[in-house]
């Protein structure tokens, strides 16, 4: 009985901290319609800041706390709102997700750069004095303070929203910011305040939980899942329900830690209670209505014809063949890795670039493919196909619980799913366990074994080209048109008779299957894989890399794959700026994220820039030289242009 009471008390404490985090999330989401995936990362960074001030610089606890909560965190919140997420509320969900994932990765980069990995401890408040109730029940002052603070936050938010003018304006800005502006309100000011308070609450939750979770980059970042799970009970807008959700979650999690076995296959279960809780709530939520009156028409990168795509694909294979002759095996492994990442990128081109859905778990699907391929131990096309199908089935499995909800919830569900797989499945004895590598053989096709690293790398490139052609075929065909139509207007698709829910499941399955193929090929390339190869964080990097280089084109996938491969290489070559590279990627995504066509699309524009702008200018300046602009009578150039016009189905660029 004493044990039970103890666990309940710990649960109330955890729930109180979750409630603080979740109410911050609800506040920012409901006033600006931007779901901040970096909410946990914000808490993480400020926990580090607080540690730095109180432990390293030796400030008194209360002063450090005041500096963080009343000064630094609100300032950072206003900065985020003003500079980074401004006007993002009206953008497609995909864009706001990418930008906030960019913030998340950037913040992890900042933390690793300023506070490199080292053992750090943050003592709880008033650690020296404990309160004993009865014989065996002990409460810490830290727990009491946390519960009190969460009550204080609840009362404070209630007073702010219900009793002040600015709170009324906040609630009004949820409904209609334009109208608020017409009536003399200042939605930007209101949003800024919401982000200031929200960020401060994230920081507070991070600081309160650190003595329990530990001062770590990733575990604190995943606090967003717990906060999200709690907030979902109130559909991201209802604060009282959010508190109920947070308390329930905290208590359930505490019981799980107390009573579930701490060894064996279900040991990981204890760490993923928030995620399971989240999925349970997602399944129970009612159908979301289709949105009518959306902004439509999105700029897309040009889609090449098969002739042109085949030509480039052939050239790529030839190039890798040359590399296979010239490079050492260790470098060829990197080329193969780039091909793997390229294929995973292609899965995102299909899902995000064409379909408009965001997934934060593509590497998890790749991991499923790798595990399946290794465990099946059938290093041939059949084994590969089975691995792909298993990954596809898992992809469908993620999309089905979220069947009735919108894209935002689907994306968040994939994040939760990735964490679930990291902690529960990949570490179980039927997959990797902790730190246990799985070995796999290289593929043979029709009895021909590709055992050399060079040959295998070329094979992987061929697979990349084949998948790329498949993706282009889908885009050019009926299915591709339907995907674009779905992205433009779900309501119209529905009233024309399209079952959007199963279309989405199918799209997810297809995308997961492609990622699974990449994982299976990767397992064969490396010979052994470990669970760390498929951590959730890689999926975030992948998404950002894809968006920076262009998630709507195969070219973007090639470039993204190469750079994603190069990122860890660059980091291990220059460990002193490892974190900075994450920051760079995060900032890049924040800057480019609003245009999903990315840098690749800029390349496509280069040719016409040369023809239309550069040539005439040069011709004007140096009239004697044989430079001719477009439109003049030049057979060679004219013919070249024609070929390109023919090969490229131009999607006219119109801002959506």
Partner 1 sequence: MSLLQVDDVVVQFGGVTAVNHASFEVEPGTVTGLIGPNGAGKTTCFNVITGLQSPTSGRVLLEGRDITRMPVHRRARRGIGRTFQRLEAFGSLTVWDNVRTALDIHAGVRGLLNSVDGSAEVEVERLLELVGIEEYADERADSVPTGVARLLELARALACEPRLLLLDEPSSGLDEQETLDFGRLLTQLAGNGRTVLMVEHDMDLVMSVCDTIHVLDFGTIIAQGTPAQIRTDPVVQQAYLGYAEDPAVGSHVRTDDVEETRVLPTVVGSP
Nearer to partner 1, 484 or 532 (CB): 484
Does residue 473 belong to the site contacting partner 1 (CB under 8 A)? no
Nearer to partner 1, 188 or 406 (CB): 406
Tell me the number of residues near partner 1 by CB under 8 A. 33
447 DSSP assignment: T
Rounded Cα gap, residues 410 and 407, in angstroms = 5
Answer for which of 231, 482, 515, 544 binds partner 1 (CB under 8 A) is: 482
CB 586 within 8 A of CB 544: yes
Does residue 219 belong to the site contacting partner 1 (CB under 8 A)? no
Rounded Cα gap, residues 110 and 122, in angstroms = 19
With tokens 């053989």, the residue in question is 441
CB 21 within 8 A of CB 210: no
Does residue 619 belong to the site contacting partner 1 (CB under 8 A)? no
Nearer to partner 1, 278 or 507 (CB): 507
Contact set for partner 1, span 275-294 (CB under 8 A): 289-290, 292-294
Would you state the structure tokens that stand for residue 338, as one six-digit string?
A: 């780039």
Q: Phi, psi (5° rounding) for residue 327?
A: -100, 155
Residues 6+ apart with CB under 8 A from 547: 98, 352, 589, 592, 593, 596, 598
Would you state the structure tokens that stand for residue 159, as one six-digit string?
A: 């007073």
Rounded Cα gap, residues 97 and 85, in angstroms = 10
Nearer to partner 1, 323 or 648 (CB): 648
Contact set for partner 1, span 290-349 (CB under 8 A): 290, 292-294, 296-300
Q: Give the chain's radius of gyration (CA, Å).
A: 26
With tokens 């920076």, the residue in question is 548
Does residue 493 belong to the site contacting partner 1 (CB under 8 A)? yes
Does residue 495 belong to the site contacting partner 1 (CB under 8 A)? yes
Q: In this structure, which long-range contacts are made by residues 212-219, counting pairs with CB atoms below 8 Å and at least 24 apart in sequence?
A: 212/14, 214/121, 215/47, 215/48, 215/51, 215/120, 215/121, 215/122, 216/44, 217/44, 217/108, 217/111, 217/112, 218/108, 218/537
Does residue 494 belong to the site contacting partner 1 (CB under 8 A)? yes
Answer for which of 210, 253, 489, 511 binds partner 1 (CB under 8 A) is: 489
CB 219 within 8 A of CB 535: no
Residues 6+ apart with CB under 8 A from 210: 47, 50, 51, 122, 220
Q: Which helix (H) or strand (E) holds 132?
A: strand 130-133
Smallest gap, in angstroms, from Cβ of residue 289 to partner 1? 7
Rounded Cα gap, residues 346 and 557, in angstroms = 6
Smallest gap, in angstroms, from Cβ of residue 556 to partner 1? 18
Does residue 648 belong to the site contacting partner 1 (CB under 8 A)? no
Answer for which of 497, 575, 623, 624 binds partner 1 (CB under 8 A) is: 497
Rounded Cα gap, residues 634 and 248, in angstroms = 74
CB 87 within 8 A of CB 593: no
Would you state the structure tokens that stand for residue 76, as one six-digit string?
A: 């950072």
Nearer to partner 1, 25 or 298 (CB): 298
Does residue 656 belong to the site contacting partner 1 (CB under 8 A)? yes
CA 152 to chain centre: 33
Smallest gap, in angstroms, from Cβ of residue 493 to partner 1? 7
Answer for which of 455, 462, 484, 627 binds partner 1 (CB under 8 A) is: 484
Q: Which stretch binds partner 1 (CB under 8 A): 16-24, 195-203, 269-277, 475-483?
A: 475-483
Answer for which of 52, 441, 488, 641 binds partner 1 (CB under 8 A) is: 488
Does residue 479 belong to the site contacting partner 1 (CB under 8 A)? yes
Query: What are the DSSP calls for 216-269, one per residue?
Result: -HHHHHTHHHHHHHHHHHTTTT-HHHHHHHHHHHHHHHHHHHHHS-SSSTTGGG
Site string for partner 1, 560-589 (x = CB under 8 A): ------------------------------
Nearer to partner 1, 81 or 300 (CB): 300
Smallest gap, in angstroms, from Cβ of residue 482 to partner 1? 6
Q: Which helix (H) or strand (E) holds 206?
A: helix 187-213
Q: Which stretch binds partner 1 (CB under 8 A): 69-77, 379-387, 602-610, 646-654?
A: 646-654
Q: Which stretch binds partner 1 (CB under 8 A): 144-152, 390-398, 478-486, 517-525?
A: 478-486
Does residue 555 belong to the site contacting partner 1 (CB under 8 A)? no
Answer for which of 276, 385, 403, 498 binds partner 1 (CB under 8 A) is: 498
Does residue 646 belong to the site contacting partner 1 (CB under 8 A)? no
Q: Phi, psi (5° rounding) for residue 133?
A: -115, 125
Nearer to partner 1, 303 or 408 (CB): 303
Nearer to partner 1, 171 or 449 (CB): 171
Smallest gap, in angstroms, from Cβ of residue 654 to partner 1? 6
Which residue ranges make up the site for partner 1 (CB under 8 A)? 289-290, 292-294, 296-300, 478-479, 481-482, 484-485, 487-489, 491-500, 651-652, 654, 656
């Amino acid at each position: 009985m004493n044990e039970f009471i103890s666990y309940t008390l710990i649960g109330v404490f955890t729930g109180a901290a979750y409630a603080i985090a979740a109410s911050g999330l609800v506040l920012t989401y409901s006033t600006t319609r931007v779901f901040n995936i970096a909410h946990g990362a914000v808490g993480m960074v400020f926990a580090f800041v607080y540690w730095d001030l109180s432990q390293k610089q030796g400030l008194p606890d209360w002063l450090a706390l005041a500096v963080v909560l009343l000064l630094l965190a609100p300032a950072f919140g206003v900065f985020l709102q003003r500079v980074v997420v401004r006007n993002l509320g009206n953008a497609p969900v995909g864009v706001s997700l990418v930008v906030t994932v960019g913030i998340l990765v950037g913040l992890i980069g900042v933390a690793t750069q300023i506070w490199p990995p080292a053992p750090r401890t943050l003592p709880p408040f008033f650690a020296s004095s404990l309160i004993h109730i009865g014989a065996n029940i002990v409460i810490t002052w830290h727990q009491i303070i946390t519960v009190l603070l969460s009550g204080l936050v609840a009362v404070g938010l209630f007073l702010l929203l219900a009793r002040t003018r600015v709170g009324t304006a906040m609630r009004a800005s949820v409904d209609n910011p334009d109208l608020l502006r017409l009536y003399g309100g200042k939605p930007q000011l209101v949003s800024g305040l919401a982000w200031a308070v929200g960020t401060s609450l994230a920081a507070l939750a991070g600081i309160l939980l650190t003595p329990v979770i530990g001062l770590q980059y990733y575990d604190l970042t995943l606090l967003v899942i717990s906060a999200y799970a709690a907030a979902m009970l109130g559909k991201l807008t209802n604060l009282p329900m959010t508190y109920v959700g947070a308390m329930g979650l905290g208590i359930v999690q505490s019981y799980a830690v107390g009573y579930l076995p701490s060894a064996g296959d279900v040991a990981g279960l204890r760490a993923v209670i928030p995620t399971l809780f989240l999925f349970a709530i997602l399944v129970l939520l009612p159908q979301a209505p289709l949105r009518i009156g959306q902004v439509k028409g999105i700029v897309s990168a040009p889609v090449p014809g098969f002739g042109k795509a085949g030509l480039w694909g052939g050239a790529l294979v030839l190039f890798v063949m040359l590399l296979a002759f010239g490079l050492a095996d260790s470098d060829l492994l990197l080329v193969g890795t780039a091909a793997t990442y390229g294929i995973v990128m292609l899965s995102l081109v299909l899902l995000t670039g064409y379909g408009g859905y965001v997934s934060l778990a593509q590497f998890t699907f790749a991991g499923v493919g790798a595990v399946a391929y290794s465990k099946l131990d059938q290093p041939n096309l059949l084994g590969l196909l089975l691995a792909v199908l298993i990954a596809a089935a898992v992809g469908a499995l993620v999309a089905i619980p979220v069947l009735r909800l919108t894209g935002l919830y689907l994306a968040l569900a994939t994040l939760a799913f990735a964490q679930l797989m990291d902690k529960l499945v990949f570490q179980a004895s039927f997959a990797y366990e902790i730190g246990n590598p799985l070995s796999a053989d290289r593929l043979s096709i029709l009895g021909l074994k590709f055992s050399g690293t060079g040959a295998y790398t070329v094979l992987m490139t061929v697979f990349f080209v084949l998948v790329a052609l498949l993706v282009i075929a889908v885009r050019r065909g009926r299915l591709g048109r339907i995907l674009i139509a779905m992205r433009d207007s779900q309501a119209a698709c529905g009233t024309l008779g399209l079952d959007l829910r199963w279309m989405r499941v199918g799209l997810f399955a297809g995308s997961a299957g492609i990622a699974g193929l990449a994982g299976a090929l990767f397992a064969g390339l490396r010979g052994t894989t470990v669970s760390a190869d498929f951590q959730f964080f890689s999926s975030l990097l992948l998404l950002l890399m894809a968006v920076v280089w262009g998630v709507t084109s195969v070219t973007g996938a090639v470039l993204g794959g190469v750079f994603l491969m190069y990122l860890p290489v660059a980091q291990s070559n220059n460990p002193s700026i490892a974190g900075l590279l994450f920051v760079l990627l995060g900032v890049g995504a924040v800057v480019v994220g609003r245009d999903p066509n990315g840098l690749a699309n800029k390349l496509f524009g280069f040719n016409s820039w040369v023809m239309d702008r550069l040539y005439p200018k040069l011709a004007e300046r140096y009239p004697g030289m044989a430079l001719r602009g477009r439109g003049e009578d030049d057979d060679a150039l004219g013919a070249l242009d024609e070929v390109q016009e023919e090969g490229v189905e131009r999607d006219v660029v119109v801002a959506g």
